[in-house]
Structure 1
Amino acid sequence: MLWKRRKVHPLQIGIIIIDPKLIKMDNKDKFLEENEHLMSDHDYDGIRELNNPMPTWWRYLFYLSIIFAAVYMFRYHVFGDDLQIDEYNKEMALAEANKPKQAFDENNLSILSDAASLDAGKVIYSKNCIACHGKAGEGNAIGPNLTDKYWLNGGGVAEVYHIIKVGKPLKGMLAWQHQLSPEQMLQVTSYVLSLQGSNPPNGKAPQGELVE
């Protein structure tokens, strides 16, 4: 059977091609008409926006972030609370203060020359040593002069520390190792040695051997 070829008018082809688009446009217009209440009032050159608000949880999270930022600003930048760097510095200072001290080595003593140690030694001397050695170390009827270069038991830091520690009971010198800590004994030792050459009035005559 032979089919007769039918001539198709160009307009018919155009309609066939355009029809799907027209259908889509019709659907779009229908959607807009049915959901007019969802449209916002914004209109930009014929382009309109859907009124599609953010999720409620997202909005509340945004509000909380604003509140947090305000509290943070007033607490740390207005009222002067410690920032992280300040807290870090305080923690480091506390750790340094609580760091275990090195064991006191009595075999490796050296004179303390800082003002704090000498002041502490002076307090110990004033409390415990004035009765036998005088207020300025000038000596008296009981104890020798501590300001000259003559010593009965050696004038080095180790010798003076040792005599303070164990004393001279037969001569009336108490042993201070049970009343004072090693650090305190070194402080008073350093203070006594700092009196060298002070030449206070009414100094007792030299006793012992000359130590240069």
Structure 2
Amino acid sequence: MEENKNKEQFPDIDPLTNDKFVPEHEFDGIRELANNPPWWLTFIFIFSMLFAYFYLAKYHFYGDGDLPSQEYENEMLAANPEEEEEGAGGIVIEADDTDYSVPLADAGGLDKGAKIFKTNCAVCHLAEGQGLVGPNLTDEYWIHGGSFDDITLIINNGVVEKGMIAWKGQLSKKQIHQVASYITTLQGTNPPNPKAPEGEKYEPME
């Protein structure tokens, strides 16, 4: 009698789906049905497992292809082909005999500096360096010093309190040298509508 009562309370087949219940899989009145997942879910699971094994073998065991970290480095090198790479990974550091303490004089380097300036600096200093949010770079007055070392230092470290970001994390040492060299050529160019002088007049030491 007790056995029949339990069967009525916990039947072997779900009356709604006609699926069998898993024996002894019951908790707090909730029972598990012994039904299989749909075919498409089974297919996705099997495909995912096969893809995982293929990916592991291709990229980790045989090294046939670049991992995401290497793809990122390749894209960064493509965006900044002149950037010097340091560290492990078999990256070769090219010899560089450039004197970074003096401005460039060659037209090629200055042209590259002009392109960097127009891409990154013109938004605050305008395309001809006459100043907008940032100061005028074409006159003799400088807020933080007008020597080449001063200009390079400001580009590298920025002036955060005045909205000038540090570019050393975004431009390579060579690119900063190029744009700093280009900025030195702007003095005395007299562009239209220049911003009023700011800071102190810089007089180069003889």
Instruction: Please report the TM-score for the alignment, with normalisation by the length of structure 2.
Output: 0.52
1:110 is aligned with what amino acid?
A: V
Which residue does 2:113 correspond to in 1? 121
- The answer for unaligned runs of 5 or more in structure 1 is 1-97
Pairwise CA distance, 1:103: 6.5
- Corresponding position: 1:102 with 2:96: yes
Q: Could you tell me how far apart the structure 1 residues matched to 2:122 and 2:116 are?
A: 10
Instruction: Please report the TM-score for the alignment, with normalisation by the length of structure 1.
Output: 0.50
Which residue does 1:150 correspond to in 2? 141
The alpha-carbon distance between structure 1 residues 105 and 113, as it changes in their structure 2 partners (threshold 3 A), is closer
Spell out the pairing of 1:85-96 with structure 2 (5 A cutoff).
none
1:101 is aligned with what amino acid?
A: A
The alpha-carbon distance between structure 1 residues 104 and 114, as it changes in their structure 2 partners (threshold 3 A), is closer
Q: Could you tell me how far apart the structure 1 residues matched to 2:99 and 2:110 are?
A: 19
Pairwise CA distance, 1:105: 6.5
- Corresponding position: 1:199 with 2:193: no
2:115 is aligned with what amino acid?
A: V
Task: Find the partner of 2:179 among 177, 188, 195.
Answer: 188
Q: What SS does the aligned partner of 2:179 have?
A: helix
More helix by share: 1
- Corresponding position: 1:131 with 2:123: yes
Bigger radius of gyration: 1
Pairwise CA distance, 1:100: 4.0
2:196 is aligned with what amino acid?
A: A
Spell out the pairing of 1:35-74 with structure 2 (5 A cutoff).
none
How many pairs are equivalent? 112
Task: Find the partner of 2:155 among 147, 164, 173.
Answer: 164
Q: What's the Cα RMSD here?
A: 1.9
Pairwise CA distance, 1:113: 1.0
| C-alpha distance after superposition, 1:54-102 (max 9, x if no partner) | xxxxxxxxxxxxxxxxxxxxxxxxxxxxxxxxxxxxxxxxxxxx99413
Contact kept, 8 Å, 1:138 with 1:147, in 2: the verdict is yes
Q: Could you tell me how far apart the structure 1 residues matched to 2:174 and 2:197 are?
A: 29
- The answer for unaligned runs of 5 or more in structure 2 is 1-91
Q: Could you tell me how far apart the structure 2 residues matched to 1:182 and 1:125 are?
A: 15
Which residue does 2:49 correspond to in 1? none
**% same residue:** 47
| C-alpha distance after superposition, 1:87-142 (max 9, x if no partner) | xxxxxxxxxxx994136676xx00101000100000100100011001100001x1
